[in-house]
Amino acid sequence: GIQVEQSPPDLILQEGANSTLRCNFSDSVNNLQWFHQNPWGQLINLFYIPSGTKQNGRLSATTVATERYSLLYISSSQTTDSGVYFCAVGTGANNLFFGTGTRLTVIP
């Protein structure tokens, strides 16, 4: 399967700070999703972004498919942003391969 590496594994931010999370993958993909898992275990879709750049409020994501990485930007972080952020990639109708996540803690 495709190898997915996320960095950093853990991140602590002061409320209001900005951050960048990275996802590297080992093969060409045509499916890439970013998820946020809240402290209760719920996985929420953030972006479907196999290439290009998307923005949704304080979050944005960029995928450079030719260089096999994606970045998730969080601006003006809030305590509700805390949780684990997962990157998952796939090819065609094949399944998603998940990274081990970045655990984000935002402190007031």
Residues in contact with another protein by CB under 8 A are 4, 31, 33, 35, 40-45, 48, 86, 88, 90, 92-101
Q: Classify residue 5 by burial, with Cβ atoms within 10 Å: 0-12, 13-18, 19+.
A: middle
Q: Closer CB to another protein, residue 28 or residue 100? A: 100
Instruction: Supply the DSSP string of 35-83, one letter for each residue.
Output: EEE-TTS-EEEEEE-SSEEEEETTEEEEEEGGGTEEEEEE-S--GGG-E
Q: Around Cβ 50, how many Cβ atoms within 10 Å? A: 17
* Closest CB 58 distance from another protein, rounded Å: 20
Q: Closer CB to another protein, residue 75 or residue 91? A: 91
Q: Closer CB to another protein, residue 14 or residue 80? A: 80
**25, 4 in Cβ contact below 8 A?**
yes
* Closest CB 78 distance from another protein, rounded Å: 20
* Closest CB 92 distance from another protein, rounded Å: 6
Q: Closer CB to another protein, residue 8 or residue 16? A: 8
